[in-house]
Structures are given as structure tokens and as C-alpha cells.
């Protein structure tokens, strides 16, 4: 099963960069999100593909017409937090109010309930598992924030699932659709979005898409924008990771889209047999 998702944020919404960390700085940057998102929407509509869009609450407030357009075009709108901060840097109260603000802002625009969430930078770790209680209390029924391995921002290295599972907490149960990792040359990589999607040749991507039973993609509008400015103050390895392969990425994306079937999260949830997935019980942990 392949699931198609996008995190709707602009080119400067990179994490852990001083120059672009705070909301008050964002309005000074060039706005590229409209044409970059429109390009994705046009392609999906032309190819009749469904997808889930994890929108920043801040984007919904700043550019309401963009998020409305995503929704009225028939796509599922989910939350990617409000202020795009790493979850493990927030207190439970800060996380709760940011989440609520994002849900309220998006729901007011679309008129539809927000029930799906993805944390910025997959920043759920085994040190902040309280996030799941807060998600459940806020009405979130499905999460897609778990990166089951180690990475720059968080990652949940204790979990090795490469398939959907459920998380049980004191507040209830939540469905988890994690990122899928694949071993290449002893490296665990996420090829279905971000830097590796841009880095790997199409023939290898196609091979991986063919042989992987569960794929959670995660693209951003900036992943296909070869003319975007460079975020100031990025270390060299992150420059490479953020900007390598931009020239051909949209082309690769078009090919993948036309060659494979994709579901949005709603369709994926209805196809999964939730009685037969693993359950991780976090209710006894602190
Ligand atoms: Zn993000």
C-alpha cells in the first residue's frame, strides 16, 4: 500500500535553523508556497490521485485561500502543527496549545474535522510519548509522526515497525502510520520523500516502490522547487540534503505517480485490518 502525503509549508520552514526558527521572521521571506503547491494540485487533479495534506496552522491563517483550495479540490487536510516547532522542544502545555490552535484554524476554514496529525521533523521520541495522550484528547485519531529509526530530529529508534500499528495510552488508542525505512548498504533510509527521494536515481526508486509493501510518502512543495533561495546559515551537509537533486525531482515524482497506485490516509485507514496490527502499549510508561 502506498500513501501519498504532503507537508504544506514554505521553502524556509527548515528545522533547527536560527534564521528561520521563529514565526515573527517568516513574513520577511519570499512567498513561494502558492505556485509550488498549485503545481502539485494540478498534477494530482490531472492524474486523478488522492492525497493527504498536512498543513501548518500558520499557513492556514496566513494564506486561507490556499488551504481552502486544497480542501475544495477534494483533498484531505490534516494538521502539521501551528508554529512548526520540534515537539520534543515543547512542554506538554505548549504542545497542547499549538495543536489546538492549528486544529481550530484549519477547521474554521474547511468546515471539516481535523483527525490526522504529523509532527514537524517527525519529532516524537521515546522521551515525549505524552504527545499521544494530548493528540487523543484533541480528537486526533491517526498520527503519522513516527520515524522508526534514529535521525537528525528525533526519531523513534525503539520502534522497528515498517507498517501501521496502534498506540495505546491512558487516554485511549491512536492509529499510527509511520514512515517506512529500507536498508541500503547497511543504512536505514527513508526513500519515500525528502533528501533520499531526490538523491536516488529513478530506476532504484522504482525498484524500491515495487518491492516495499507499505510506503508512506512525505513530500513538501519546496522539494520540487529548483529556483528556491538557500536558507541562510545552513551547515554544508544540510545544504546538500536540502537542495541536491531539485532539478529532476518533479519529473521523478510525476513518474512515480503515474506508475503506482496511491491512497490518501482516509482510504488507507479503511483498507488496513486494524485488529491484526501490532499494539504498542505506552499507558504504563511515563
Ligand atoms: Zn514540516
**pLDDT at residue 273 greater than cutoff 60:** yes
275 Cα to the center of ligand 1, angstroms: 31
95 Cα to the center of ligand 1, angstroms: 15
pTM comes to 0.95
Cβ-in-10-Å burial (0-12, 13-18, 19+) of 158 comes to exposed
Phi, psi at 248, each rounded to 5°: -110, 5
- Residue that wins the pLDDT comparison between 56 and 17: 56
1 Cα to the center of ligand 1, angstroms: 23
144 in Cβ contact with 174 (< 8 Å): no
135 Cα to the center of ligand 1, angstroms: 17
38 Cα to the center of ligand 1, angstroms: 18
284 Cα to the center of ligand 1, angstroms: 30
165 in Cβ contact with 279 (< 8 Å): yes
At residue 242, the pLDDT reads 81
**Rounded Cα distance, 210 and 187, in Å:** 19
77 Cα to the center of ligand 1, angstroms: 14
56 Cα to the center of ligand 1, angstroms: 8
**pLDDT at residue 231 greater than cutoff 90:** no
Residues 138-144, mean pLDDT to the nearest whole number: 98
At residue 256, the pLDDT reads 96
Q: Which of 16, 52, 30, 3 is nearest to 213 (CA)?
A: 3
At residue 17, the pLDDT reads 86
At residue 213, the pLDDT reads 95
Residues 131-152, mean pLDDT to the nearest whole number: 93
- 240 pLDDT band, cuts 50/70/90, is confident
Average pLDDT, rounded, for the chain: 93
At residue 183, the pLDDT reads 87
Q: Which of 37-51, 55-69, 189-203 has the lowest mean pLDDT?
A: 189-203
- 285 pLDDT band, cuts 50/70/90, is low
Domains of the chain (ranges, CATH numbers): 2-281 (3.20.20.370)
% of the chain with per-residue pLDDT over 90: 77
At residue 269, the pLDDT reads 98
**Rounded Cα distance, 109 and 249, in Å:** 31
276 Cα to the center of ligand 1, angstroms: 31
Amino acid at each position: 500500500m502506498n500513501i501519498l502525503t504532503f507537508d504544506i509549508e514554505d521553502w524556509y520552514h527548515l528545522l533547527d535553523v536560527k534564521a528561520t526558527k521563529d514565526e515573527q521572521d517568516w513574513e520577511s521571506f519570499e512567498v513561494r508556497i502558492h505556485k509550488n503547491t498549485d503545481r502539485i494540485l494540478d498534477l494530482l487533479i490531472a492524474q486523478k490521485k488522492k492525497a493527504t495534506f498536512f498543513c501548518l496552522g500558520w499557513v492556514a491563517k496566513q494564506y486561507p485561500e490556499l488551504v481552502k483550495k486544497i480542501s475544495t479540490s477534494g483533498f484531505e487536510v490534516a494538521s502539521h502543527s501551528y508554529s512548526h516547532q520540534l515537539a520534543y522542544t515543547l512542554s506538554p502545555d505548549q504542545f497542547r496549545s499549538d495543536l489546538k490552535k492549528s486544529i481550530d484554524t484549519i477547521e474554521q476554514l474547511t468546515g471539516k474535522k481535523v483527525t490526522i496529525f504529523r509532527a514537524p521533523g517527525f519529532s516524537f521520541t521515546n522521551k515525549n510519548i505524552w504527545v499521544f495522550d494530548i493528540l487523543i484528547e484533541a480528537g486526533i485519531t491517526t498520527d503519522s509522526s513516527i520515524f522508526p529509526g534514529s535521525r537528525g530530529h528525533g526519531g523513534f529508534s525503539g520502534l522497528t515497525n515498517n507498517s501501521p500499528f496502534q498506540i495505546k495510552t491512558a487516554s485511549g488508542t491512536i492509529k499510527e502510520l509511520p514512515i517506512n525505512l529500507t536498508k541500503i548498504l547497511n543504512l536505514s533510509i527513508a526513500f519515500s520523500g525528502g533528501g533520499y527521494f531526490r538523491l536516488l536515481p529513478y530506476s532504484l526508486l522504482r525498484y524500491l516502490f515495487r518491492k516495499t509493501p507499505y510506503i508512506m510518502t512525505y513530500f513538501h512543495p519546496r522539494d520540487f522547487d529548483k529556483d528556491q533561495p538557500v536558507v541562510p546559515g545552513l551547515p554544508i551537509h544540510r545544504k546538500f540534503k536540502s537542495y541536491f537533486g531539485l532539478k529532476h525531482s518533479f519529473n521523478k515524482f510525476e513518474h512515480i505517480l503515474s506508475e503506482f497506485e496511491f491512497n490518501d490516509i482516509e482510504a488507507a485507514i479503511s483498507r488496513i485490518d486494524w485488529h491484526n496490527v501490532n499494539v504498542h502499549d505506552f499507558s504504563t510508561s511515563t
